[in-house]
Amino acid sequence: MAAGTARYKRILQLLDKWPAEEGKSGRDLGEFLRNKINLAYKQDKFNANQKYWDSQYLSLQRLVNNDHKNRYPRVLNSSATGLTAEQCNVALSNEFLQQLQEEDKPFYKKLFTSKTKNE
């Protein structure tokens, strides 16, 4: 039991280094991982397979420390879409996705929605 708790705390300390992205609440990878780790701890899965959690810790450590980003630096500043990293972050934010959903509404829904807002 103590070994499982120690692994759990060690993983949580590592995830604390992972910055939370406010613009992606509900879709943030760090938030998702924290929830999965907490659920696994509540279900007492840390004691069952110690090798699995040790490998998960090492994988998370590589992600948090940006090992692959540092080992394989990007040559270009843009992606396949032609957008920079900053532009991709804006395009994936909750606010931008909400604007896209508003634009996807049929014309009649936009018309009636704006009338009810004005009244």
- Side chain identity at residue 118, one-letter code: N
The reported pTM is: 0.66
Reading the block at residue 106, the tokens are 């049929």
Tell me, what's the pLDDT at 86?
Answer: 84
Exposed / middle / buried, residue 97 (Cβ in 10 Å: 0-12, 13-18, 19+): middle
Distance from C-alpha of 7 to C-alpha of 9, rounded to nearest angstrom: 6
φ and ψ of 23, to 5 deg? -70, -5
* pLDDT tens for the 119 residues of the chain, in order: 688 889 999 999 999 998 877 777 777 888 899 999 999 999 988 888 889 999 999 999 999 999 998 999 888 777 788 888 888 888 888 888 888 777 777 766 666 665 555 44
CA distance 93 to 32: 16
Question: Six-digit token pair at 9?
Answer: 């705390």
Quick one: pLDDT at residue 13?
A: 93
